[in-house]
Amino acid sequence: MKKPDIYIFDDSFSALDYKTDAILRRRLKEVTEEATVLIVAQRVGTIRDADQIIVLDQGEIVGRGNHDQLMLTNPIYREIANSQLNKDSLRDEEVTT
pTM for the whole structure: 0.76
Strand partners for 6: 36
| Count of positions (residues) in the chain | 97
Residue 73 falls within a domain, yes or no?
yes
CATH code, domain carrying 17:
3.40.50.300
Distances in whole angstroms, Cα of residue 32 to Cα of each of 27, 36, 38, 95: 9, 8, 11, 22
pLDDT of residue 85: 77
Q: Which residue has the higher pLDDT, 40 or 16?
A: 40
Question: Residue 90 — very low, low, confident or very high, per pLDDT cuts 50/70/90?
Answer: very low
Residue 35, C-beta contacts closer than 8 angstroms, at least 6 positions apart = 3, 4, 5, 6, 7
Phi and psi, residue 65, nearest 5°: 155, -170
Tell me if 39 sits within 8 A of 61, measured CB to CB.
no
Residue 29 falls within a domain, yes or no?
yes
Question: Residue 11 — very low, low, confident or very high, per pLDDT cuts 50/70/90?
Answer: confident
Render pLDDT for 46-87 as a digit per residue (tens, 0 to 9): 898 899 999 999 999 999 999 999 999 999 999 999 998 775
The continuous run of DSSP H or E covering 11 comes out as: none
Range of the domain at 76: 6-96
Residue 12 falls within a domain, yes or no?
yes
Residue 60 falls within a domain, yes or no?
yes
Residue 1 falls within a domain, yes or no?
no
Count of domains observed in the chain = 1
Residue 24, C-beta contacts closer than 8 angstroms, at least 6 positions apart = 13, 16
